[in-house]
Structure formats: C-alpha cells, structure tokens
Chain A
Amino acid sequence: KNEVEQSPQNLTAQEGEFITINCSYSVGISALHWLQQHPGGGIVSLFMLSSGKKKHGRLIATINIQEKHSSLHITASHPRDSAVYICAVFPSGGGADGLTFGKGTHLIIQP
C-alpha cells in the first residue's frame, strides 16, 4: 500500500522566513504533485514533477526519486502563502491515473 507522509503537519512562521515542507512516499511513482488548498476547499496545482527541481516565483519544488522524497520551499514567505499544502503521488506501473494524497501541511504566515 502506498503511503504518503508529510511533515510538518502544522507550521507557523513569520513573514519573510524560508519555509520547507517535506513529503515522503513508499512506492515507486511516475510523478509527484504539489497542491495548494485555501480555506473554502479549492485546490490549485503548484507543481508536477518527476525529477530534479522546478521553480515558479518564490516557490521551489525538488524531488529525489531514489530516496522517495520531495520538498516544497517558499522563499520570502508572505501572509498570502497561508494555506494547506498537499503532496500527491502518481504510482508507477500500469497507467493508473489515481493520485495518493498526503494529509497536508497547514501553513500560517504571520505578518
């Protein structure tokens, strides 16, 4: 069974701090998805990656396939970054579309 573990579960930081959220998974994957969920429920896709590193604005996502680990970094954090960040993986082998989700990391950035 594929498990996706995120850490920390909750994180409160001051505006401007560098933020790191970690994701570990237990099976081989085709790709990993970082998602952002604001209060109210809607989910926005931040990154989908299968190797290396991607950067978009102040957000950076890295993945190490061999170690089954990914990190999401936020530089110069801002209160509007406050949200739940969810890691989801596409298991490899067999064309499955199904995502396995972590429980999310609840991030609060205080001004």
Chain B
Amino acid sequence: EAGVAQSPRYKIIEKRQSVAFWCNPISGHATLYWYQQILGQGPKLLIQFQNNGVVDDSQLPKDRFSAERLKGVDSTLKIQPAKLEDSAVYLCASSPPQPSSYNEQFFGPGTRLTVL
C-alpha cells in the first residue's frame, strides 16, 4: 500500500513570507498528525485530526500556524508569516481506525523548511 505522501520535500523562504505544506495520509486512515521537529530534538505534535475534526491543537502557534483537513482526507499546514525559529522538519503521520487504546502511526518523508 502507498505510504504517507508529503510535498514539497524541501522549502526555503525568507522570514515574514508564507508557506504551505501538503499531506496525503494512507488510504482509510482516519487520524492525521502534523509534527514539528527542530534539529536535535524529537518531533513535537502541532495538531491532530480525527477525520475532518481537530482533536488536539494545544501546541499549535495559532497566531501564525493554521491547518485544515476539510474533506477528512488530505491536509494542509500553513505558516503565515514565517519566523527564523520555524526552520524545522514538518512531519505528517496517519493512523488507522483501530479499536485499541493506541494506534501505530505511519510517517511521511517530511518537509524540511529553512527560513532565512
């Protein structure tokens, strides 16, 4: 089966510009996650969707970051305007709707953002 797709793979922008990332999860996966991974650290959850609803966005900097999953399938993450500290790898992951207390997550290749 196809994995989690992300685009672009790399993006370089100047501070105060806007940028958008796209993620297409594995078919049938109801839960979608966006993570931010700053160099040298583990990933940090930005937002979690269950179908087209937001489950957790407590760590999303809402003054500049937004995300949507309008049809409950693919998702976009936007940063507007970008700051230098937003330079990171943005990872998308998805997990299937299993009747379990935990779901294995499948990760995409990530988008490496550099803000100059």
A and B physically associate = yes
Tally of chain A residues near chain B (CB < 8 A): 25
Kindly report which residue of chain B lies nearest to residue A42, judged by CB atoms. Answer: B109
B102 touches A42 (CB 8 A): no
B41 touches A45 (CB 8 A): no
Contacts of A44 in B (CB 8 A): 107
B110 touches A45 (CB 8 A): no
A30 touches B112 (CB 8 A): no
Spot the interface stretch: A12-20, A64-72, A73-81, A101-109. A101-109
B102 touches A103 (CB 8 A): no
Secondary structure of the B contact surface, majority rule: strand
Q: How far is the CB of A70 from chain B (nearest CB, A)?
A: 15
Does B27 sit at the interface, judged by CB under 8 A? Answer: no
Q: C-beta contact mask, B95-111 vs A, less than 8 Å → 1, else 0?
A: 10000011111111111
Tally of chain B residues near chain A (CB < 8 A): 29
CA distance A69 to B44 in the complex (A): 21
Given contacts A31-B102, A43-B93, A45-B104, 20 further A-B pairs with CB under 8 A are A4-B42, A40-B9, A40-B110, A41-B91, A42-B107, A42-B109, A43-B43, A43-B91, A43-B107, A43-B110, A86-B42, A86-B43, A90-B101, A97-B48, A97-B55, A97-B102, A98-B45, A99-B43, A101-B42, A103-B41
21 residue pairs of the A-B complex, CB under 8 angstroms, read A30-B101, A40-B9, A41-B112, A42-B108, A42-B109, A43-B91, A43-B107, A45-B104, A45-B106, A48-B102, A92-B101, A97-B48, A97-B55, A97-B103, A98-B45, A98-B48, A98-B56, A99-B45, A99-B105, A101-B43, A103-B41
